[in-house]
């Protein structure tokens, strides 16, 4: 299979499996989605969804959140890990959003990346899932699957994002990155497949017999 053929097959098969993938993180507005995505760094979506209801009852928008003591934010989000850094970032970005953007979330990726605690992947998720602007957020899981599927040989998520954007049509990006996440969790897991077990891996590379060692 050529890379383009693998990409077409993956696009079609994932659309069959996950025609309407839900957004994994629960939120009621763009600010809440931003905070939830920030919290999801090195933390499961499931744990974030358990923590955010209490946090958002306390403060549902940046106007309210900027007035919440950092210690109080910390005590709520502690189960998510990296709580000292994340609680400080949530407090500071809330203040900046109010002061600089009148409480609105900017739609430009460079402006989002200027906010405390917001990296490229977090900004891309907000554009994609929050605003419907084409983006292709790539985390370590998507990076791993893209290598297993022969769509990239990049050693970083930055290169993998570029490669995936080249091989898949722009209109598919927002939906596809969610589809890959769900497929990876269900079938092509870190330890359960290793490039030789799941349907996509065996279809794309039927002659592969040894586990694929992916670049970090």
Among 86, 100, 121, 170, the active-site one is 121
The answer to whether the Cα torsion of 8, 14, 16, 21 is positive or negative is negative
* Secondary structure of residue 102 in the 3-state scheme: coil
Of 55, 10, 40, the closest CA to residue 126 belongs to 40
Q: How many CB atoms lie within 10 A of CB 169?
A: 11
139 in active site: yes
Among 86, 139, 163, 194, the active-site one is 139
Residue 9: Cβ-neighbour burial (10 angstroms; 0-12, 13-18, 19+) = middle
Number of helices (H) and strands (E), helices first, in the chain?
12, 0
162 in active site: no
Please, what is the Cα angle at 25 between 33 and 97, to 5 degrees?
10
Of 32, 55, 7, 1, the closest CA to residue 172 belongs to 7
Active site positions, annotated? 121, 139
């Amino acid at each position: 299979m050529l890379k383009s053929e693998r990409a077409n097959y993956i696009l079609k098969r994932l659309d069959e499996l996950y025609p309407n993938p839900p957004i994994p993180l629960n939120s009621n507005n763009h600010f809440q989605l931003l905070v939830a995505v920030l919290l999801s760094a090195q933390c499961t979506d499931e744990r974030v969804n358990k923590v955010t209801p209490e946090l958002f009852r306390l403060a549902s928008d940046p106007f309210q959140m900027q007035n919440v003591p950092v210690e109080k934010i910390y005590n709520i989000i502690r189960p998510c890990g990296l709580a000292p850094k994340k609680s400080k970032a949530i407090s500071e970005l809330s203040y900046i959003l109010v002061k600089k953007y009148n409480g609105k979330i900017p739609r430009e990726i460079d402006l989002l990346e200027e906010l405390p605690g917001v990296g490229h992947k977090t900004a891309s998720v907000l554009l994609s899932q929050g605003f419907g602007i084409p983006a292709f957020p790539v985390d370590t899981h998507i990076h791993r699957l893209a290598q297993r599927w022969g769509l990239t040989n990049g050693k970083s998520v930055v290169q993998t994002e570029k490669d995936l954007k080249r091989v898949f049509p722009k209109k598919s990006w927002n939906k596809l990155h969610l589809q890959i996440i769900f497929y990876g969790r269900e079938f092509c897991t870190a330890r359960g497949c290793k490039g030789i077990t799941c349907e996509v891996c065996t279809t794309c590379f039927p002659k592969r017999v040894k586990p694929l060692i992916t670049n970090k």
